[in-house]
């Protein structure tokens, strides 16, 4: 497989023909799939410390130099590979504590290990801020976006995530937190353990979740319900899942997942709803082709500008 095609695929700049070549090549043998993930791992790790330079040239840097650069870029993070993609970090100060902000671009996701051993998956377009070392009485972080937390147990120091108007407090647990400021939404889904939710503006508005339940904000109040479908939380596996979702929500998810702009000129499909499950590696063109089986629309992709027009 031509490495240039692979790198265009990894960076979200692949054409329709490129995507078909990559998918056909991957499906042809297990050896090719292993090679795909090997190249992806190298591509993403290199992008951590040099996101804009020529990736093909960087492939040939010696392992010693590569490891040194990787450690420097990772800084206080322990970066774990399993779909990890490039992110940018910005050092800050909060009092005497050094803070790190991770910004995950559209089309990417990243898995990091915090100083206390907590594992955090960050979805595309997420911004996450945490200290180089946690305080003696609490472990405080901030999120704008979506993240999956597997919190390391520490009974003396609760793990607290500030997300917009709400706080999520946990000790040792697994939960998914969705709080994109541009969507004005808040949802927490608990897989294991226990979490306490509270509103920053209304101290009486609190909830404690048990496993397999989720909380969401509606009408300015927190509400809880049972989790009946775990597919929406499988984004860490590279899956994109829709269940009776409106077309504008689907477009938002595709733009977020593939780092591409989608312009909808066909207003007749605004009320269209869709249910489906896809692998991110399928590519946006494959998803749109499947959707065309259920509703009549045409689309044109401008690969140079990275825009898809739906007519």
Residues 241-291: pLDDT tens digits? 999 999 989 999 999 999 889 999 988 888 889 999 998 888 899 999 999
Categorize the per-residue pLDDT at 89 as very low, low, confident or very high, splitting at 50, 70 and 90: low
Residues 12-62: pLDDT tens digits? 666 767 777 887 787 788 788 778 777 766 665 554 444 434 444 444 443
Can you give the pLDDT at residue 192?
Answer: 95
Can you give the pLDDT at residue 227?
Answer: 95
Can you give the pLDDT at residue 94?
Answer: 53
CATH number assigned to the domain comprising residue 171: 2.60.120.1440
Categorize the per-residue pLDDT at 171 as very low, low, confident or very high, splitting at 50, 70 and 90: confident
Last-in-domain residue among 180, 207, 230:
230
Q: What range defines the domain where residue 267 resides? A: 238-310
The pTM (predicted TM-score) of the whole model is 0.72
Contact 201/165 with Cβ under 8 angstroms? yes
In the predicted structure, residue 9 carries a pLDDT above the cut 50: yes
Categorize the per-residue pLDDT at 68 as very low, low, confident or very high, splitting at 50, 70 and 90: very low
158 with 225, same domain: the answer is yes
The mean pLDDT value for 8-12 works out to: 69
Last-in-domain residue among 183, 214, 230:
230
In the predicted structure, residue 144 carries a pLDDT above the cut 70: yes
123 with 211, same domain: the answer is yes
């Amino acid at each position: 497989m031509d490495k240039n095609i692979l790198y265009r695929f990894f960076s979200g700049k692949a054409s329709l023909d490129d995507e078909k070549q990559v998918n056909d090549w991957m499906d042809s043998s297990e050896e090719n799939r292993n090679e795909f993930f090997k190249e992806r791992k190298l591509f993403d790790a290199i992008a951590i410390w040099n996101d804009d330079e020529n990736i093909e040239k960087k492939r040939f840097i010696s392992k010693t130099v590569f490891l040194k650069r990787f450690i420097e870029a990772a800084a206080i993070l322990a970066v774990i590979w399993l779909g990890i993609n490039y992110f940018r970090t910005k050092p800050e100060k909060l009092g005497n504590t050094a803070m790190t902000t991770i910004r995950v671009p559209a089309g990417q996701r990243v898995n990091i290990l915090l100083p206390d051993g907590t594992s955090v998956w960050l979805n595309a377009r997420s911004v996450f801020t945490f200290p180089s070392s946690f305080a003696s009485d609490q472990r405080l972080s901030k999120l704008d976006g979506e993240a999956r937390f597997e919190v390391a147990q520490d009974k003396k120091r609760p793990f607290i995530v500030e997300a917009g108007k709400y706080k999520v407090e946990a000790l040792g647990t697994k939960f998914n937190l969705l709080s994109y400021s541009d969507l004005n939404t808040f949802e927490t889904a608990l897989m294991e353990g226990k979490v306490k939710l509270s509103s920053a503006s209304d101290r009486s508005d609190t909830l404690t979740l048990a496993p397999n339940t989720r909380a969401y904000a509606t009408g300015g109040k927190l509400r809880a319900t049972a989790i009946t479908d775990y597919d929406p939380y499988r984004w860490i596996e590279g899956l994109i899942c829709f269940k009776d979702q409106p077309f504008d929500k689907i477009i938002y998810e595709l733009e977020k997942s593939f780092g591409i702009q989608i312009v909808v000129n066909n207003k007749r499909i605004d009320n269209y709803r869709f249910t489906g499950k896809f692998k991110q590696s399928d590519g946006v063109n494959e998803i749109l082709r499947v959707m065309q089986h259920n509703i009549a629309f045409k689309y044109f992709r401008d690969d140079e500008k990275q825009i898809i027009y739906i007519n």
